[in-house]
Amino acid sequence: MTRFRFADIGNQSGKTVLVTGANTGLGFEIGRHLALRGARVLMACRNRAKGEDAIARIESEMPGADLQFLALDLADMESIRAAVDRVANEARLDVLINNAGLMMPALGYAHGVEQQIGVNHLGHFALTGLLLDRLASDGGGRVVTQASIAHRGARLDLDNLDARKGYDRNAFYKQSKLANLLFTLELDRRLRAAGSPVAALACHPGVAKTEIARHVGPAKVVLPLIGWLLNSPQCGALPALQAATDPQAHGGDYFGPYGLAELRGSCSGPAYISGNARDASVARQLWTRSVELTGIDPALPVG
């Protein structure tokens, strides 16, 4: 597979793509580039004012862009279900990009567990599970989940998802990103076992200069000093755009920046997956626990 660049994003006219966390950072750039290539983009985020502002910014660059705000709070199951109901009114759904996330906030909760695993993984697990039939019915879409190089060296502690045995926000962030990859690879195995036309892929942005680090105190001082080393939000969006649009991409693929140990780069390609992320036994355990915690069962056979 050759390296993927912005010029390789083909015409997306006729496709509908849902992007979570689309009002800022990576999500905004993902939605922007898809809209510029002709896709209808459902800009999913919690805050209507910020979502509509993001839409206005894209429309100022491309009048007539096909964009729609979609209210979505991944920490709230009622909000997730309501968003799915609204998507049911769309003519089609071709790609779901699970991009939104939290990074190292103070301890909080979502879906009965610590909020990073709750939002970054469980919220997207539920959203994906509820949209799989729709993605399949429109000819076989893609589920693209944003992971991170932070998954390397991470360990999933299924006995402490609620942080009652201790909370280290960095460790919890890393395990949420490990969960994203475990979920993607398990979803891919199960979709294949079911003979589904839907493909599950993952990506990571390198280390991109976005608002996701707003909860990390030292980042406010360090990022302005080392910003030149980091990926821009636009370049950080490229791996997700490859996963969403590259005709050569397949289920189970994982993309990241090509350059400086996958930290940054203006092109994208296959990325490194840790041994822990490839552990199918742990992935099955995470799947079972995710069904229990969300009440959403995608009803896919074990691959």
247 located within any domain: yes
pLDDT, residue 303, reads 87
Report the alpha-carbon distance of residue 70 to residue 280 in Å, rounded: 34
| Pair 21, 253: CB distance under 8 Å | no
139 within domain boundaries:
yes
Residue 303 counted as domain residue: no
> For residue 299, is it within any domain?
no
* DSSP bridge partners of 44: 20, 70
Give the total number of structural domains in the chain. 1
Q: Which residues carry out catalysis?
A: 173
Is there a contact between 209 and 223 (Cβ–Cβ < 8 Å)? yes
Backbone angles phi, psi at 143, to 5 degrees: -110, 120
Distance of CA 200 to the CA centre of its chain: 11
Question: 3-class DSSP state for residue 201?
Answer: strand
pTM above 0.85, yes or no: yes
- The dihedral sign for the CA sequence 214, 266, 262, 269: positive
Give the pLDDT confidence of 44-76 residue by residue, as tens digits. Answer: 999 999 999 999 999 999 999 999 999 999 999
Question: Does the structure show a pLDDT above 60 at 220?
Answer: no
Say if residues 104 and 216 touch (Cβ distance below 8 Å): yes
The answer to whether residue 302 sits within a structural domain is no
- Per the domain annotation, does 111 fall within a domain? yes
Query: Distance (Å, rounded) from C-alpha 231 to C-alpha 257?
Result: 9
Residue 301 lies in a domain: no
Q: Judge whether 1 lies within some domain.
A: no
Q: Residue 62 is part of which domain span?
A: 6-294
pLDDT of residue 216: 52
> What pLDDT shows up at residue 222?
43
What tokens appear for 17 in the block?
């793509």
140: domain CATH number is 3.40.50.720
